[in-house]
C-alpha cells in the first residue's frame, strides 16, 4: 500500500510560520481584534526631551508626520526643526483586559514604559475616544516603543496589531516617600532593562503624586498609535479621568539611556533632563470593570 503524499503550499506555510514570530502581521494573515482595558490606581512620570524633528521623522513609517515644536505651540527661532521625544512610565495596582470573546484577565502590580513622539493624525482613522468625534485628542503620540510587565496588556496590544511592543517583566518603577507625614517630594527610580533600542532609566526627586496626596485632577484623552508594514493602523485610545499631574523638580530628574541605542542617538547623550516638560501624576481607580482604554485595530492609513 502506498502512503498518500502530503503536499504543502510552501509560500503560505512559510508566511504562517514567520507570522508567529512577529509582533503583528498583515490583517489578511491574522485577524486583528480589539480589547477593553481598565487601569486601577496608577502613578506615573512623564516628560518630553527636545530633539531633532528630522531624526524623529526618520523613526516613523511613511505617511506619518511628526509634529514640530511650532506645531505644538512652542514658537521660537528654530522651533520648526525641533520635535519632542516623550518618555513615560507608570506603575498600577492592577489592570483588567477583556477581549472580544468576553474573556477577562487581570494582572496586579504591573509597570509600563513607553517612548514616542507627537504626530499629526489628519490622515488617521477615527478612534473610540476623541474630543472631536474623529481622533482629536489632547495627546496623539506615535509609539516608538511600548513595554509592559503585564502579560494581559501585552496580549491586548498584540491582538490589536500595535508595533514596537515588548513584554518586559523586569521593569521597575519605585517611589520612595521621604516624609510619609507630608505631601511634598519623593525619590523616583525607573529602570527598563534589556537590549531594546529604547531601554532607559529615570531617577530623581519628584513632586509626590499618590493616593494620599491626590487633590483632584483633570480629564483628558490620549491616543498612542502605530502603523505596520501593510499600512494598518492601531491605536491605544485612552480616556483618563481625574488625573493629578504636578510639575517635577525639573533638572533633578534625569533620563539615562544605553550608549549605542536609537534613544541615545536621538537625545545625543547618555543622560538628559526633561528639556520640554515633565510631571508626576496619579490616576485614581473607578473600580475594575470600567473601561479606560480600547486597544483597537482601525484599518488602513489614508
Q: What per-residue confidence (pLDDT) applies to 2?
A: 41
Q: What per-residue confidence (pLDDT) applies to 191?
A: 98
18 occurs within a structural domain: no
Length of the chain: 302
Q: Position of cell 481598565?
A: 38
* DSSP states along 209-233: -SSTT----EEEEEEEEEE-TT-EE
Cα separation, 207 vs 52, whole angstroms: 29
Q: Full-prediction pTM beyond 0.75? A: yes
Q: What is the dihedral of CA 160, 166, 171, 175, to 10 degrees?
A: -40
| Ordered per-residue pLDDT tens for the chain, 302 residues | 444 333 334 333 333 333 443 433 333 457 899 999 999 999 999 999 999 999 999 999 999 999 999 999 999 999 999 999 999 999 999 999 999 999 999 999 999 999 999 999 999 999 999 999 999 999 999 999 999 999 999 999 999 999 999 999 999 999 998 888 888 889 999 999 999 999 999 999 998 888 888 777 889 999 999 999 999 999 999 999 888 878 776 678 999 999 999 999 999 999 999 999 998 889 888 678 889 999 999 999 98
Q: What per-residue confidence (pLDDT) applies to 22?
A: 40
Q: What per-residue confidence (pLDDT) applies to 210?
A: 81
**For the chain, what is the domain count?**
1
125 occurs within a structural domain: yes
CATH number for the domain that contains residue 183:
2.40.400
15 occurs within a structural domain: no
Q: Position of cell 489578511?
A: 28
E strand or H helix at 16, and its extent? helix 10-19
CB-based burial of residue 156 (10 Å sphere; 0-12 exposed, 13-18 middle, 19+ buried)?
Answer: buried
2 occurs within a structural domain: no
Cα separation, 200 vs 87, whole angstroms: 9
Q: How many alpha carbons fall within 13 Å on the CB side of residue 127?
A: 30
Structural domain boundaries enclosing 187:
31-300
Amino acid at each position: 500500500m502506498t502512503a498518500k503524499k502530503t503536499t504543502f503550499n510552501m509560500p503560505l506555510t512559510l508566511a504562517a510560520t514567520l507570522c508567529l514570530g512577529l509582533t503583528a502581521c498583515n490583517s489578511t494573515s491574522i485577524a486583528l481584534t480589539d480589547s477593553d482595558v481598565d487601569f486601577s490606581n496608577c502613578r506615573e512620570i512623564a516628560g518630553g526631551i527636545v530633539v531633532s524633528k528630522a531624526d524623529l521623522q526618520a523613526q516613523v513609517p511613511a505617511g506619518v508626520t511628526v509634529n514640530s515644536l511650532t506645531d505644538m505651540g512652542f514658537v521660537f527661532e528654530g522651533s520648526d526643526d525641533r520635535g519632542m521625544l516623550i518618555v513615560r512610565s507608570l506603575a498600577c495596582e492592577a489592570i483588567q483586559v477583556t477581549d472580544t470573546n468576553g474573556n477577562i484577565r487581570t494582572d496586579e502590580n504591573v509597570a509600563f514604559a513607553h517612548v514616542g513622539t507627537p504626530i499629526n493624525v489628519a490622515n488617521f482613522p477615527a478612534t473610540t475616544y476623541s474630543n472631536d468625534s474623529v481622533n482629536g485628542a489632547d495627546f496623539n503620540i506615535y509609539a516608538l516603543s511600548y513595554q509592559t510587565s503585564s502579560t494581559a496588556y501585552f496580549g491586548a496590544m498584540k491582538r490589536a496589531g500595535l508595533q514596537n511592543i515588548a513584554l518586559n517583566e523586569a521593569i521597575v518603577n519605585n517611589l520612595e516617600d521621604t516624609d510619609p507625614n507630608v505631601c511634598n517630594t519623593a525619590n523616583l527610580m525607573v529602570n527598563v532593562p534589556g537590549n531594546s533600542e529604547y531601554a532607559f532609566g529615570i531617577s530623581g526627586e519628584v513632586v509626590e503624586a499618590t493616593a494620599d496626596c491626590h487633590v483632584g485632577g483633570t480629564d483628558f484623552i490620549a491616543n498612542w498609535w502605530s502603523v505596520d508594514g501593510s499600512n494598518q493602523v492601531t491605536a491605544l485610545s485612552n480616556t483618563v479621568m481625574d488625573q493629578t499631574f504636578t510639575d517635577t523638580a525639573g533638572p533633578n530628574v534625569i533620563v539615562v539611556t544605553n550608549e549605542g541605542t536609537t534613544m541615545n542617538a536621538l537625545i545625543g547623550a547618555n543622560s538628559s533632563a526633561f528639556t520640554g516638560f515633565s510631571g508626576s501624576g496619579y490616576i485614581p481607580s473607578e473600580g475594575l470593570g470600567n473601561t479606560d482604554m480600547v486597544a483597537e485595530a482601525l484599518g488602513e492609513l489614508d
